[in-house]
Amino acid sequence: MFLLRCCMTLRYSFVNFFKPDIFEVFFEVGQEMNPSVAIVGQGVIGCSTALAVLQRFPKAKVVLIGDRPFEKICSFGPAGLFRLDKFDCKPWAKASFERFAEIEKQWTAEETGVKLVSGHIQSDSEERLKSQEKNMADIVYNFRWLTDREKNLLFVNPSKYCIHYTAYASEGRRYVPWLKRQIEALGGTFVTKSISKLSSLADDGFNIVVNATGLAGGKLAGDDDTVFPVRGVAFEVHAPWHKHFNYRDFSTFTIPMVDSVIVGSVKQDHRDDLEITDVDRREIFDRYELLHPAFKGVKVISEWSALRPERPMIRLEKVDGVKSDGGKYTLIHNYGHGSNGFTMGWGCALDVVKLIEEAQGIAPILKIKAHL
């Protein structure tokens, strides 16, 4: 049924030009197929998934559906710092980190939002920082614990413990539009509409439906009431001199972006109001200024609030969906990324690709390298 693909790529470098015996030949053996994929969700999760699917299946039909403007979704505002809360999600984070490393080498951060940043997280809880060490010390660059001397020099009122690391930050308002441009270049399309039943897309002829709707993921799945909002508020400020991210206990932070700096935040579980109040403004700035008094009176460029799609664990799985005529289709859930959607988006997208391969009964592309 599927076309068997066997293609050959000849590679040689200038140095190898006169040594034909070390020409490298790559055979890619796999099956080519044209799945028809509807992805509900145009945030970092939906867009990462779409791009990974199109890169793996260039002839696929991929349509991304979203029900509101980009500025109104959770993926718009974050500075997207690489940071990981859940140990079990480490493989997804690692795969994303490696992808960011590739992007950062090939593209400017003005285009992609992806850049390297260094900085600190301090806390009075050694345990909280040790869990960060376990989750990411062997993924990020330069992870280490600060000495007392360093803490006292760096901070006005240092916490007991502080870690330093260097990693990628991917900046939602640049990274997601860049993903969208990549998707469009590969033939993916975008549709604005609200979906109330995922199976309606299978009724419309899609053989694979991906649920990447973040906070709405559980409700749309219909069998999951474990997703909940964690309210966040952040301010974009003018502070071009500020070059390091600076955290206390994960909810008080600054993260440098390309043209500005993000100051945050709150993490209010089960709260879903989006209006930014004077209490938010005062509380967040007071907390941050205690950490870094230079931010007093800094110029605010914009304000942003959003709801993190939290879940005890990300839901990334393939299930049998049922169409209105009783027929089956492949439904893949990819939602519940909480505070780390940018950190894990690409790794999760690669797993969706594997699930599609599985659903279609095909083997992953196998690359065979031979020296002639």
Ligand X SMILES: Cc1cc2nc3c(=O)[nH]c(=O)nc-3n(C[C@H](O)[C@H](O)[C@H](O)COP(=O)(O)OP(=O)(O)OC[C@H]3O[C@@H](n4cnc5c(N)ncnc54)[C@H](O)[C@@H]3O)c2cc1C
> Which residues of this protein are in contact with ligand X, per CB under 6 A?
40-46, 65-68, 73-75, 78-81, 194-195, 212-214, 216, 220, 232, 234, 264-265, 306, 308-309, 335, 337-343
Least spacing, CB of residue 11 vs ligand X, in Å: 35
Report d(CA 168, CA 256) in Å as an integer: 11
The minimum distance between CB 308 and ligand X, in angstroms, equals 5
How is residue 313 written in tokens? Answer: 């664990």
To the nearest whole angstrom, how small is the minimum distance from the Cβ of residue 274 to ligand X?
A: 10
Give me the least distance between CB of 234 and ligand X, in Å please: 4
H helix count then E strand count, the chain? 10, 18
DSSP H or E segment with residue 317: strand 315-322
CB of 334 to ligand X, least distance (A): 8
CA distance 145 to 136: 13
Give least dist CB 369 to ligand X, A. 34
Q: Torsion angle of alpha carbons 328, 329, 330, 335, nearest 10°?
A: -100
- Give 321 or 338: the residue with its C-beta nearer to ligand X: 338
- Minimal distance in Å, beta carbon 315 to ligand X? 11
Whole-angstrom distance, CA of residue 346 vs CA of residue 341: 9
Which of 33/96 has CB closer to ligand X?
Answer: 96
Residues 142, 120: contact at Cβ < 8 Å?
A: no
| Cβ nearer to ligand X, comparing 33 with 215 | 215
| Closer of 30 and 48 to ligand X (Cβ) | 48
Residue in 2, 71, 352 with CA at minimum distance from that of residue 208 = 352
* 258-285 exposure pattern, b = at least 16 Cβ within 10 A, e = fewer: bebbbbbbbbbeeeeeeeeeeebeeebb
Structural contact between residues 341 and 43, judged by C-beta atoms closer than 8 angstroms: yes
Let me know: does 263 contact 254? Beta carbons within 8 Å: yes
Least distance from ligand X to the Cβ atom of residue 167, Å: 10
Minimum Å gap between C-beta 219 and ligand X is 8
Closer Cβ to ligand X, 65 or 146, answer by number: 65
The backbone torsions φ and ψ at residue 196, rounded to the nearest 5 degrees and listed phi first, read -105, -20
57 vs 175, which CB is nearer to ligand X?
175
State the Cα torsion 32-35-40-43 to the nearest 10°. 20
Select 31 or 268, whichever has its Cβ closest to ligand X.
Answer: 268
The encoded tokens of residue 103 equal 């992007």
Tell me the C-alpha distance between 268 and 310, whole Å.
11
Of 232 and 256, which has the nearer Cβ to ligand X?
232
Q: 30 or 78: whose CB is closer to ligand X?
A: 78
